[in-house]
């Protein structure tokens, strides 16, 4: 334990700080993709949804620039967003289930973790369900025995392009691929941000700040885990009997990491304290700091027995769908979109479609 803390405490501390910033900002801005979509569908208010897409635009733009200057390489991330395997069945089905489920659960994993920091007992219960389902899917034989046999054929390989990011699909395996990734990333991210600026609700201080902070945190995590310091950390890990888990280029996602928290709690040791585990706790702490500082901490429970069962079902769908899709509204929606991976684009579209259907279903059954 002392060996790990001595060698990696700056690494752990920076991850925790980034997660706290994420949680603090998400709590203050009510950052929530499904909440934003619900406001747009029901009230035609686009502010929160635009903020979510603004964070995506900033993440794409900053990631393209930083990767273009050679500070990190997003072709070997955890999870592998740019993999040659285009698992379209997982992206579409898992994304839709996740999107529908987060409507019933009143938010994705990130939003419910933020609510835990605000004092929601309901969110504590829902996060526990999401975490247990994610653990079932990632740490037991359930996925391999019951899900993989029918979902694995629903995929194809991008062997000619060598990767599934937008630049690779358009340009192929060319020597100037890194340049094209930067150019296309700047164009796509910049164009999306400029398009969003046409919305008056987005051209406000708080939405703009939220987009820049959260988008910047996503890229900051990639810079930490994929930069020169990360290489030092990995080299140090090679000489340890039990190296820390989950080293590699990665950014924020909250589905599988909640399952990692369950795994760590079942076998508490420093080697299992991964990026995702720290991110989960850091997000809650950041939200707690914001809620207490601005006097928004309040213990809340379920509104009714119907709310309990509906939300619990939604939490099961969120945990299952996120792992099936290999990402959530933060994993694919921000971290994956920053790599311009086609799979993340398809998964995000499926998530939003599932959420839209869920919102319509929710409005008719309440």
Digit-coded pLDDT (tens) for 296-355: 999 999 999 999 999 999 999 999 999 999 999 999 999 999 999 999 999 999 999 999
Q: Which domain holds residue 259?
A: 2-365
* Helices vs. strands in the chain: H and E counts, helices first: 17, 2
Tokens describing residue 160: 């000619």
**According to the model, what pLDDT value does residue 96 have?**
98
157: helix, coil or strand? strand
Distance CA 172, CA 166 (A): 10
Q: How many CB atoms lie within 10 A of CB 294?
A: 10
Tokens 């934003």, located at residue: 36
**According to the model, what pLDDT value does residue 238 have?**
72
**According to the model, what pLDDT value does residue 365 have?**
78
Asked if residue 195 lies in contact with residue 50, where contact means CB atoms within 8 angstroms, the answer is no
**According to the model, what pLDDT value does residue 4 have?**
62
**According to the model, what pLDDT value does residue 7 have?**
66
| Residue 271: band (very low, low, confident or very high) from pLDDT cuts 50, 70, 90 | confident
The mean pLDDT value for 113-122 works out to: 97
**According to the model, what pLDDT value does residue 17 have?**
98
- Among 114-123, 167-176, 248-257, 266-275, the minimum mean pLDDT is found in 266-275
The mean pLDDT value for 45-73 works out to: 96
- Asked if residue 151 has pLDDT above 80, the reply is yes
User: What is the C-alpha end-to-end distance of the chain, expressed in Å?
Assistant: 51
Q: Is the peptide bond before 179 cis (omega within 30 degrees of 0)?
A: no
Question: Residue 120 forms beta bridges with which residues?
Answer: 300
| Residue 269: band (very low, low, confident or very high) from pLDDT cuts 50, 70, 90 | confident
The whole model's pTM is what? 0.95
| Residue 242: band (very low, low, confident or very high) from pLDDT cuts 50, 70, 90 | confident
Asked if residue 101 lies in contact with residue 317, where contact means CB atoms within 8 angstroms, the answer is yes
- Among 110-114, 237-241, 276-280, the minimum mean pLDDT is found in 237-241
**According to the model, what pLDDT value does residue 309 have?**
96
- Asked if residue 91 has pLDDT above 70, the reply is yes
* Structural domain total, the chain: 1
pLDDT above 70: percentage of residues in the chain:
98
Tokens describing residue 121: 């007992």
- Pairwise pLDDT comparison (224 vs 255), residue with the higher score: 224
Identify which of 332, 286, 215, 212 has the alpha carbon closest to the alpha carbon of residue 16.
286
- Asked if residue 5 has pLDDT above 70, the reply is no
Tokens 């795994």, located at residue: 263
Asked if residue 182 lies in contact with residue 64, where contact means CB atoms within 8 angstroms, the answer is yes
Tokens describing residue 176: 């100037």
Q: How many CB atoms lie within 10 A of CB 240?
A: 13
**According to the model, what pLDDT value does residue 363 have?**
83
- Asked if residue 2 has pLDDT above 60, the reply is no
Distance CA 102, CA 138 (A): 20
Average pLDDT, the chain: 94
- What are the φ and ψ backbone dihedral angles of 42, each rounded to 5 degrees? -85, -30
The mean pLDDT value for 96-118 works out to: 97
Strands (E), the chain: 85-86, 156-157
Tokens describing residue 2: 């002392």
| Residue 3: band (very low, low, confident or very high) from pLDDT cuts 50, 70, 90 | low
């Amino acid at each position: 334990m002392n060996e790990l803390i001595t060698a990696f405490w700056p690494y752990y501390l920076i991850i925790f700080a980034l997660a706290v910033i994420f949680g603090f900002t998400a709590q203050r801005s009510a950052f929530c993709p499904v909440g934003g979509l619900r406001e747009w569908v029901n009230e035609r208010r686009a502010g929160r949804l635009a903020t979510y897409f603004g964070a995506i635009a900033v993440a794409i733009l900053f990631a393209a620039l930083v990767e273009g200057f050679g500070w990190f390489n997003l072709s070997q991330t955890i999870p592998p967003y740019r993999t040659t395997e285009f698992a379209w069945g997982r992206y579409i089905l898992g994304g839709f289930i996740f999107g529908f489920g987060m409507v019933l659960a009143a938010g994705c994993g990130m939003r419910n973790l933020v609510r835990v920091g605000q004092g929601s007992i309901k969110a504590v219960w829902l996060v526990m369900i999401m975490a247990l389902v994610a653990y079932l899917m990632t740490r037991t034989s359930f996925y391999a025995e019951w899900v993989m046999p029918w979902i694995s054929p629903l995929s194809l390989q991008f062997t000619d392009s060598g990767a599934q990011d937008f630049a690779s699909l358009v340009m192929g395996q060319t020597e100037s691929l890194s340049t094209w990734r930067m150019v296309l990333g700047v164009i796509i991210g910049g164009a999306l941000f400029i398009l969003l600026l046409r919305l008056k609700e987005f051209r406000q201080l708080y939405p703009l700040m939220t987009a820049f902070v959260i988008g910047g945190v996503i890229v900051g995590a990639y810079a930490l885990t994929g930069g020169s310091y990360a290489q030092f950390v990995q080299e140090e890990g090679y000489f340890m009997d039990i190296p820390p888990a989950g080293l590699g280029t990665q950014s924020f996602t909250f589905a599988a990491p909640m399952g990692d928290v369950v795994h760590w709690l079942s076998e508490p040791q420093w080697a299992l304290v991964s990026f995702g585990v720290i991110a989960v706790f850091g997000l809650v702490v950041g939200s707690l700091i914001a809620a207490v500082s601005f006097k928004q901490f309040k213990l809340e429970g379920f509104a009714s027995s119907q709310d309990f069962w509906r939300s619990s079902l939604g939490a099961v769908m969120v945990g299952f769908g996120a792992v099936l899709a290999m990402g959530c509204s933060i994993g694919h929606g921000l971290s994956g979109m920053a790599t311009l991976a086609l799979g993340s684009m398809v998964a995000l579209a499926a998530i939003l479609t599932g959420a839209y259907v869920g919102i319509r279903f929710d409005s008719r059954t309440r």
